[in-house]
Structure 1
Amino acid sequence: MTATTAPIRAKRVLPGLTLSLGTTLLYLTIIVLIPVLALILKGAEIGPERFLRIVTSPRTLSALKVTVTAAAVSTLFNAAYGLLMAWVLVRYEFPGKRLLDALMDIPFALPTAVAGLSLTALFSANGWFGPVLDALGIQVVYTIWGIIIAMTFTSIPFVVRTVQPVLEDLDPALEQAAMTLGARPFTIFRRVVFPAILPAFLAGATIAFARSLGEFGAVVFIAGNKPMETEIASLLAYIRLEEYDYAGAAAIALVLLIFALVLLVLSNLLQRWAARSREAR
């Protein structure tokens, strides 16, 4: 007669599902859902006619156009640069690698207002880069290029930090097998490596774009905040609050929220599509 042993259950460090899930949902509700719901309700109080009149006014449309354009250019740069930086940090060993890796997190730790002041000082007429660029006929401060640089600085880490761990976990045997079959380095990257990191790459680029859309502190100093030229949407919402135009501020903020939600849904769809394409291959 053989004795049957009861299955050993792994000990849980955290409490049970009910308490853990309840705590996380409560925290999510207080920190995220309630403020978002309050903004939606405030925007609903305006009414559709007044809401459309606010968001389609020339000044609001100009601010949204500047914001989206600058965020798109910034994201394109960060997508290419972030992928390259993640590749360098994972695939190469060189002196100062740890320092370079740590520098990637500076935009997370540095207050955005400090970043904006620093960038303004660097690119102003009496800064380090300003005189050189002025001699070439390029003006950065108080132009859309200053906005792009500020957005780029604050959103640089997102692509790097999403692609880097995926590259580290990628099995090198896949690349070695492709190499033995005669594939060239670029072909290996295009057919083996990039499809594997594509979901993380898309997620990082989408988050960087969303982060740039909502940027305020780093942009407000270098943009000059000229209405119809270098005024961004988040600054316009702040101006409306200072004017006690709560309806106008809520309408602009609601548009930015809609952008963020659409980007979130799009990011998830792109990641699912990339994952299914990789499985199909």
Structure 2
Amino acid sequence: MTSKRFDLLLILPLAIFTLAFLILPLARLAVEAGSGPGGLANFVAILTEARFRNSLFVTLILAVVTTVATLTVATIAAQTLANRKFLGRGLLLSLLTFPLAFPGVVVGFMIILFGGRLGLVGGVTKSLFGTNVIFAYSLFGLFLGYLYFSVPRVLLTILAAAEKLDPSLVEAARSLGAGPFAIQRDVVLPALFPAMYTAGALCFATAMGAFGTAFTLATNIDVVPMLIYTEFTLATNASMAAAISIALGLITWVTLAIARSHAMRGEGV
């Protein structure tokens, strides 16, 4: 078999996947978005109608806050675990990555058990203060669900980068008189930035489009995934649902492209 034929054989599965799972579905989505009663005006309505605009704004803010909080928790945890041997390290890492086994619906159910009407927090606060504190169905509850869902995924990416960091660089900075904060600012974080950009972008994209957790918790919150669902099922407005889906996809695609560019720049590519 010639090299050219072999290359074509390798490209064939990628071409089939791209056509079947990317090009054709996106093309059908675009046709649906432009063929409804509203036509291309559906895209304008996303920014001009208060319901759609507010939903997009809330989803963006929630995704940004989730990403920042996840990166903070995961970066601290990764530096604690990287290149350190201590009793219980394996158990701690297993517990931190345990949520990988749960789909979004299960995560949402766990938040309900924690902060719902019959949840643990409500029971404790009612017995202590006589007030049943409920937060599972609020933006804070949804944020906790997204955070719980995202931390292990981001942690594994940053941990892999932290374990590759040369300890001699930190020792050299310390021997030159650099304090802990200066070492973080000038040595550690710059080395972790490519992984943080990539993991943060994936976290943002997941938070923007997460449906299972939102379906379980967002009973009174119109985040974009729930908006798409209600437009398609309850309002039977498939063209509007398609337009919102395309807008959501474009936002996450731009975010991933920017993160990839920064990550490559950080690696000196």
Normalised-by-shorter TM-score class: 0.7 to 0.9
The answer as to 2:60 corresponding to 1:65 is no
Q: Percent identity?
A: 27
1:16-35: CA deviation from partner (whole Å, max 9, x where unpaired) = 43212222232233233332
2:106 aligned partner: 114
C-alpha separation in 1, matches of 2:150 and 2:28: 27
C-alpha separation in 2, matches of 1:165 and 1:266: 22
1:68-124: CA deviation from partner (whole Å, max 9, x where unpaired) = 121111111101001011111214323322122223333332121111112112111
Q: How does 1:238-277 map to 2 (within 5 A)?
A: 238-243=229-234, 244-276=236-268
Q: CA deviation at 1:234?
A: 0.7
Give the counterpart of 2:26 among 36, 42, 57: 36
Shift in CA distance, 189/22, structure 1 to aligned 2, threshold 3 Å: same
C-alpha separation in 2, matches of 1:25 and 1:171: 40
TM-score scaled to structure 2, two decimals? 0.86
Is the 8 Å Cα contact of residues 158 and 207 (structure 1) preserved in structure 2?
Answer: no
1:227-272: CA deviation from partner (whole Å, max 9, x where unpaired) = xxx1211111111111321012111111111111111111122213
Is the 8 Å Cα contact of residues 100 and 153 (structure 2) preserved in structure 1?
Answer: no
Q: CA deviation at 1:63?
A: 1.7
1:83 aligned partner: 75
2:210 aligned partner: 215
Q: CA deviation at 1:43?
A: 2.3
Shift in CA distance, 128/45, structure 1 to aligned 2, threshold 3 Å: same
Q: CA deviation at 1:212?
A: 0.4
Q: How does 1:1-281 map to 2 (within 5 A)?
A: 16-46=6-36, 47-132=39-124, 135=129, 139-224=134-219, 226=220, 230-243=221-234, 244-276=236-268
Q: Note the aligned Cα RMSD (angstroms).
A: 2.4
C-alpha separation in 1, matches of 2:190 and 2:215: 38
Q: CA deviation at 1:137?
A: 8.5
C-alpha separation in 2, matches of 1:108 and 1:265: 25
Is the 8 Å Cα contact of residues 220 and 235 (structure 1) preserved in structure 2?
Answer: yes
Q: CA deviation at 1:199?
A: 0.9
Q: Which amino acid aligns with 1:29?
A: L
Q: Residue 257 of structure 2: SS of its match in structure 1?
A: helix
The farther-off stretch of 129-138 and 169-178 is: 129-138
Q: Which amino acid aligns with 1:208?
A: C
Shift in CA distance, 133/211, structure 1 to aligned 2, threshold 3 Å: farther
TM-score scaled to structure 1, two decimals? 0.83
Is the 8 Å Cα contact of residues 147 and 219 (structure 1) preserved in structure 2?
Answer: yes
Shift in CA distance, 133/212, structure 1 to aligned 2, threshold 3 Å: farther
Shift in CA distance, 64/133, structure 1 to aligned 2, threshold 3 Å: farther
C-alpha separation in 2, matches of 1:150 and 1:217: 10
Q: Which amino acid aligns with 2:106?
A: V
Q: CA deviation at 1:64?
A: 1.4
